[in-house]
Amino acid sequence: MNNKTIPFTREDLDRICQDHETPFHIYDKAAILKNAEDMIKAFSWVPGGYKNYFAVKALPNPYIIKLLAELGMGADCSSLPELILAEKAGLRGEQIMFTSNDTPMEEYEKALSMGAIINLDDITHLDYLQEGPGLPQLICFRYNPGPLKEGNAIIGSPEEAKYGFTREQLKEGYKKAAAYGVKRFGLHTMVASNELDPSYFVETAVLLIDLVNEISQECGISFEFINLGGGVGIPYKPEDSPVDIPYISREIEKAYKEKLGGTIHDGKLRVLMECGRVITGPYGYLVTKAIHKKNTYKNYIGVDACMADLMRPGMYGAYHHITIPGKESLPKDQTYDVAGSLCENNDKFAINRELPLIETGDYIVIHDTGAHGHAMGFNYNGKLRHAEYLLNEDKTVRQIRRKETIDDYFATLDFSDL
């Protein structure tokens, strides 16, 4: 179970919204920093060193990336704009992990120019790079374990996933990379997303440790790191429990000592991760306002946000908890669909949700939007993406992204010949 509370009151929102109109995403700075520090501390035992590369796709904002970088986190990027975001936040070189797929050459060229760690998704990309700008001295491959490990609902079966090398391709790839002159090596996998079972990540670490030992013996190379990927879930529902990070760390430590002791990697292998959702997800909120009530075959609450602000409920049927500030203690004796104004029937933040009586003008706070919330926004129906704010400890706010304007929407169109 987890306590679904919000870090501000109705009165706080009244004050904030005097200068910042709804809807907007707001992120709890203190909670994000505390959470990030706890994760870093949990893996402080790693002899070779531990680093989490924050998955930029979860919350692509340079202010957030910089906050986490100041604690020692890097950035996991998968596109040219994400690389530039990391660069703007002050990250350089091996503070950046470039994990992409079906990658255009210009994106590889940017990553190489920054000195980022290149994590290749396919064996053919070795020749693609070698025949182009050339391979870096450090290379990492993404492993797809196929039938050896189950995926989960979001990514699906590894055998059906578009990502990664097969086991035999890994061995061939490392031999080829070494022949091309690559001197430093890493190994990566990620076959789940928003997974809540902590044993899943322990199994992943064991899989990679065993594979590192096997490949190093067969290919005559040593590895600098294993990258366990991300995919650590968050408790979207009140009945869900947070993933036990200290348990994951303890069990990986046992495997590390048992399986690497006496090998060439003993005490040297770094452990990396690329978590995003679990770092910021629970500490972001979409603040919207009830602007209409509609009673037909169902009872609807119309809000000033829409699916363009938070795609997950409409796209995945995902649950996001809802709080009505100032009415937390009232009985949840009403059943509503909470809907936006998009011309799509799946533009609903909640369906048949039991909530307190809602009146127009009430704030509606949608939880757990600190990852894959604003990041997945879009402009269908001409909807404009809204602002992002950072909530300080004293309840003041800092704008970290302004809302889009009509001028922004039309900026890529040329009306001169019409």
Q: What residues are annotated to the active site? A: 343
Backbone angles phi, psi at 199, to 5 degrees: -65, -25
In whole angstroms, give the CA distance from residue 31 to residue 124: 42
Q: DSSP letter at 159?
A: G
Q: Is 218 exposed, middle or buried (0-12, 13-18, 19+ CB in 10 A)?
A: exposed
Q: DSSP letter at 235?
A: -
Q: What sign results for the dihedral spanned by CA atoms 63, 367, 230, 253?
A: positive
In whole angstroms, give the CA distance from residue 270 to residue 224: 6
6: CB partners within 8 A, 6+ apart: 285, 323, 325, 365, 367
Answer whether 133's CB lies under 8 Å from 154's CB: no
DSSP states of 256-315: HHHHHTTSTTTTT-EEEE---HHHHGGGEEEEEEEEEEEESSSEEEEES--TTT--HHHH
